[in-house]
Amino acid sequence: APEPATLVIFGATGDLAKRKLLPAVFGLWQDGLLGSAFNIVGVGRQEMTDEQFGDFVIEALKSSKETDEPHPGALEKFRDLLYYEFGDFGGDEVYSLVGQELDRAEEAHGGRKNALFYLSTPPSLFEPISNGLGRLGLADESEGWRRIIIEKPFGRDLASARELNAAIHRVWDESQVYRIDHYLGKETVQNLMAIRFGNAIFEPLWNRSFVDHVQITAAEDLGLEGRAGYYEEAGVVRDMLQNHLMQLFALTAMEPPAAFDADAIRDEKVKVLRSVRPIPPQRVPEVAVRGQYGPGTLYGEEVPGYREEPGVEPGSTTPTYVAVKFEVDNWRWQGVPFFLRTGKRLPKKVTEIAVVFKRPPLGMFPGGTERNVLAFRIQPDEGVSLKFSSKSPGQEMVLREVVMDFRYDAFGAQLESPYSRLLLDAMLGDATLFPREDEVDRAWQIVSGLLEAWEGPDAAAPDFPNYPAGTWGPEAADALIGPDRRWRRL
């Protein structure tokens, strides 16, 4: 278990805290993983007593689907761990109150004044909060460890991400900083490394001699979910591609690390991100497709288009879909394209990484041969499948594709929320599953060509909407991967 510590959540009454964070903390605590000396300080701009915050948290836990079944009396005991402070994040007072909470925690359960600060706030507050903590000496580790978790989006482009990193580093050492990408907390994402480096049979095939191409898909059926304020500013490139998809790409394409530790793994991720050929804005039309959903039918129901969502401008040019081809300039992947796609209001929720192998060198069977596919189903129906050809029973030599399938349910265990894994790792000081500064920086560099081509002063107005809700995105995405390859039907 971690050492005695206080978890300080800025933005504790926000949506993320309510839906994901608090249920994850409760689950960890109830399972005894946070140790006995642990408490939570919620911090917000809203005036509230400890009592009212307690009510809020209990209500949030009861209403979230992600909350584990509470043991008898557990909610009441959890409530005793909760404190609340409020104030203006630009001033000093709120941080001094937080400091007093840390003193109180130390008196209550002894030990050092360890604290994990979780910034679950709008991005415009990351810097003021980090500075405020710094001004009041709360980043200083002489009385206990101090760590800071920063939610996404980490910047809105390369320049602002660099400014944010510089501002954070004026207060914190990189070893204290945990930038969260919740995809890295998913069991199935970690399993990518387990399968690649825990088996002898896959890695020898994992290169340009055997792999034809790789497809990474993160399809969402959801639309905006009332997040227009954020999404209109972000769009799909910042919301999904720059972080979640880029992380999936890095784990799939990186070289084997020398050890399973934070620096070795992150060094390899950065190395492969550096090998991705930069996309100059003028090449964007060749290698990328953007889209925005119009009205359509999903699961038999009519749903509005993006421009009809509450809070969205009628002429909005924000993309909700992107497909892109990455070329990787290194020995392993020369000539092997990586196709990434993600979008909202697609026909279903599915995230998958598919390694598509080359055809056998000699096609000696009637009807030809198909490409073998090793597919990692990140979610839902978590698992791994291998598709290959087999003789179909009968007199003739006819081949059919068959699938060997491993499903996570075989373990009989419930998959934990990614937030609980990442929170616990941060409490334990393990940064393996958190993107490092240079990774985030490089990921911004890679997408900056797209942002410039689509948002820069010379950007042409997109022909939006260009895919109906409930379909697999704009037709141009088929041309991007084609003509001799096609997107997997998922």
Known binding residues for NADP(+) are: 11-18, 45, 88-89, 152
Q: Tell me: does residue 220 bind ligand BG6 (CB under 6 A).
A: yes
Pairing outcome for strands 146-150 and 115-119: parallel
Q: What residues are annotated to the active site? A: 244
Q: How far is the CB of 334 from ligand BG6 (least distance, A)?
A: 31
Closest CB to ligand BG6 among 101 and 151? 151
Q: How far is CA 111 from CA 2, 104, 145, 261, 489, in A?
A: 12, 12, 11, 28, 55
Q: Which of 239, 352, 416, 441 binds ligand BG6 (CB under 6 A)?
A: 239
Q: How far is the CB of 239 from ligand BG6 (least distance, A)?
A: 5
Structure tokens at 468: 């109906």
Q: Tell me: does residue 268 bind ligand BG6 (CB under 6 A).
A: no
Site pattern 121..140 for ligand BG6 (x: CB under 6 A): --------------------
Using CA atoms, how far apart are residues 124 and 379, in angstroms rounded to an integer? 31
Q: Tell me: does residue 212 bind ligand BG6 (CB under 6 A).
A: no
Using CA atoms, how far apart are residues 244 and 218, in angstroms rounded to an integer? 9
Taking only Cα atoms into account, the Rg of the chain, rounded to an integer number of angstroms, comes to 24
Contact between 355 and 339 under an 8 Å Cβ cutoff? The reply is no
Closest CB to ligand BG6 among 247 and 351? 351
Contact between 288 and 325 under an 8 Å Cβ cutoff? The reply is yes
Using CA atoms, how far apart are residues 220 and 227, in angstroms rounded to an integer? 15
Site pattern 336..355 for ligand BG6 (x: CB under 6 A): ---------------x----
Q: How far is the CB of 293 from ligand BG6 (least distance, A)?
A: 14
Q: Tell me: does residue 309 bind ligand BG6 (CB under 6 A).
A: no
Closest CB to ligand BG6: residue number: 239
Could you tell me if residue 441 is left (phi over 0), alpha (psi between -120 and 50 degrees) or otherwise beta?
Answer: alpha
Q: How far is the CB of 155 from ligand BG6 (least distance, A)?
A: 15
Contact between 488 and 403 under an 8 Å Cβ cutoff? The reply is no
Contact between 276 and 446 under an 8 Å Cβ cutoff? The reply is yes
Report the binding-site residues for substrate: 182, 186, 220, 239, 344, 349
Closest CB to ligand BG6 among 299 and 483? 299
Report the binding-site residues: 11-18, 45, 88-89, 152, 182, 186, 220, 239, 344, 349
Contact between 7 and 403 under an 8 Å Cβ cutoff? The reply is no
Closest CB to ligand BG6 among 205 and 228? 228
Q: How far is the CB of 151 from ligand BG6 (least distance, A)?
A: 9
Omega into 72 within 30° of 0, i.e. cis?
no
Burial of 365 (0-12, 13-18, 19+ CB in 10 A): middle
Closest CB to ligand BG6 among 235 and 449? 235
Which spans of this chain sit near ligand BG6 (rule: CB under 6 A)?
220, 222, 239, 351
